[in-house]
């Protein structure tokens, strides 16, 4: 089971799964002529109870897509960000069972071109839930316990050997709690813990009386009539249609295995991977029954677009083959109209390139070519030419389709105008 960072309806759970799948690279250096200078957000972090726990700060886009995380130290933070508006979330790093833990605290900040924006933060004492878990009437040592709130955030912990648990640092909200024993043999419906404000608590007695089942879901991709098993490792979440409880795992070998599930049918919230977009849909087949393993299927159907082309000498029109002393060809980057890096590829031995990924339909895309530095140059005639970077503006991308950028002319470095690149 996973711990959610922020929720906004069903889409929030999908964002949570995407966050689990991978930590995205942030702070990408965009060419100076294609983007504005980076700025930064900074401020103090105030702890009303005069303690000073370790804190992580996470940042998200305006629609809560995860971007990155960093440690905050000494009661302050500072993050380098491209110009734009972001959500920042400050998370107390103490263990989940610490009842004095602060709740995650969110602020919104707008960063400007090349300057700093100050946003101070005051942490708030979280609510907490305590209790005991029994499995078929006996203490369920090491049981997994999950508290999920009405905002679709989730927080989890593991019970001790006596089945006792505590979950601290909870944001103010209404909570339901569900659990399953560490052998994945027993489960039950959620227990309502009530609406909890800052510092408030509730103590629960949970008894797992339903025999759990297991589910293996085979994952496929499908485009242009072909169907293939998933080769990557996307994180997927099985959500019970009967109870709303959910379990998250990282898929491997083209399938995802869930243990300790409540009986019934499930839908899958699957994060995107490779060229394939995230998807939420019912698991086909795979009705979970007590004490048994069910088998089902799930298919990704939305593939990203891709951009192709080739690079040529801007003077002679000759294709630029990979430099003899470089392990890669020229780097090909795609930037959105807002200046965000959306895809990267490299030219091959023949100068051809293909940039793909989860590229949605959009216009105003800029393609930036960066030849390898200190590579010995590209062979043209009897010499080796050195090249400067270039860019192509106003490209369009269509989801599930190829966009041809054509032949991209790369300029020679000054002083290499002769056919054989000699001065």
Summarize pLDDT for 88-130 with one digit per residue, the tens. 999 999 999 999 999 999 999 999 888 899 999 999 999 999 9
Buried b (16+ CB within 10 A) or exposed e, 197-216: eeeebbebebbbeeebbbbe
What local confidence, expressed as pLDDT, does residue 8 receive? Answer: 35
Band (33; pLDDT cuts 50, 70, 90): very low
Band (46; pLDDT cuts 50, 70, 90): very high
Give the separation between CA 306 and CA 354, rounded to whole angstroms. Answer: 7
Band (326; pLDDT cuts 50, 70, 90): low
Full set of structural domains in the chain with CATH = 31-125 (2.60.40.1120), 127-210 (2.60.40.1120), 212-300 (2.60.40.10), 307-410 (2.60.40.10)
Q: Which residue's entry shows tokens 């989940």?
A: 96
Count Cα neighbours of 38 within 13 Å in the Cβ-side half-sphere: 14
Band (18; pLDDT cuts 50, 70, 90): very low
Band (66; pLDDT cuts 50, 70, 90): confident
Mean per-residue pLDDT, 334-361: 92
Structure tokens at 228: 């293939």
Asked whether the predicted pLDDT for residue 188 surpasses 60, the reply is: yes
Collapsing DSSP to helix, strand or coil, 26 comes out as: coil
For the entire predicted model, the pTM comes to 0.77
Classify the phi-psi angles of 216: left when phi > 0, otherwise alpha if psi is within -120 to 50, otherwise beta: beta
What local confidence, expressed as pLDDT, does residue 409 receive? Answer: 95
Cα-Cα end-to-end distance for the chain:
64
Mean per-residue pLDDT, 389-396: 95
Encode pLDDT of 248-267 as tens digits. 999 999 999 999 999 999 99
Backbone angles phi, psi at 180, to 5 degrees: -145, 150
Query: For 315, which DSSP code?
Result: T
Higher pLDDT pick, 383 / 191: 191
What local confidence, expressed as pLDDT, does residue 115 receive? Answer: 87
98 class by beta-carbon count within 10 Å (0-12 exposed, 13-18 middle, 19+ buried): middle
Encode pLDDT of 264-273 as tens digits. 999 999 999 9
Give the separation between CA 255 and CA 236, rounded to whole angstroms. Answer: 10
């Amino acid at each position: 089971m996973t711990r959610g960072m922020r929720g906004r309806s069903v889409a929030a759970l999908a964002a949570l799964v995407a966050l689990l799948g991978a930590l995205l690279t942030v702070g990408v250096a965009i060419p100076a002529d294609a983007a504005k200078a980076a700025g930064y957000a900074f401020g103090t972090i105030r702890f009303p109870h005069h303690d000073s726990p370790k804190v992580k700060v996470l940042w998200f886009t305006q629609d809560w897509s995860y971007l990155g995380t960093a440690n905050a130290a000494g009661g302050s933070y500072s993050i380098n960000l491209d110009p734009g508006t972001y959500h920042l979330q400050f998370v107390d790093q103490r263990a989940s069972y610490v009842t004095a833990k602060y709740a995650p605290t969110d602020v919104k900040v707008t960063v400007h071109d090349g300057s700093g924006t100050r946003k101070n933060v005051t942490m708030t004492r979280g609510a907490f839930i305590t209790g005991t878990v029994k499995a078929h009437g006996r203490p369920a040592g090491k049981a997994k316990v999950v508290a999920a709130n009405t905002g679709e955030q989730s927080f989890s912990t593991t019970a001790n050997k006596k089945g006792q648990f505590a979950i601290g640092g909870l944001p103010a909200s209404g909570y339901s709690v569900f659990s399953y024993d560490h052998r994945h043999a027993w489960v039950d419906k959620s227990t309502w813990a009530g609406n909890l404000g800052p510092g408030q608590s509730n103590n629960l007695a949970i008894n797992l009386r339903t025999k759990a089942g297991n589910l293996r879901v085979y994952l496929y991709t499908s485009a242009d009539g072909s169907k293939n098993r998933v080769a990557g490792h996307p994180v997927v979440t099985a959500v019970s249609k009967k109870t709303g409880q959910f379990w998250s795992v990282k898929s491997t070998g083209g399938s995802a295995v869930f243990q300790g599930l409540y009986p019934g049918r499930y839908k899958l919230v699957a994060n995107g991977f490779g060229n394939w977009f995230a998807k939420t849909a019912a698991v086909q087949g795979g009705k979970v029954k007590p004490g048994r393993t069910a088998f089902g299927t799930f298919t990704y159907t939305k593939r990203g677009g891709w951009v192709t082309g080739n690079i040529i000498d801007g003077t002679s029109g000759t294709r630029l083959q990979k430099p003899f002393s470089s392990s890669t060809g020229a780097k090909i980057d795609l930037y959105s109209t807002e200046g965000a890096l959306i895809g990267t590829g490299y030219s091959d031995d023949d100068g051809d390139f293909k940039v793909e990924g989860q590229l949605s339909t959009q216009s105003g895309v800029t393609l930036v070519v960066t030849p390898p530095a200190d590579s010995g140059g590209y062979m043209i005639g009897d010499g080796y030419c050195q090249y400067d970077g270039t860019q192509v503006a106003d490209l369009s991308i269509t989801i599930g389709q190829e966009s041809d950028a054509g032949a991209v002319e790369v300029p020679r470095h000054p002083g290499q105008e002769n056919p054989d690149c000699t001065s």
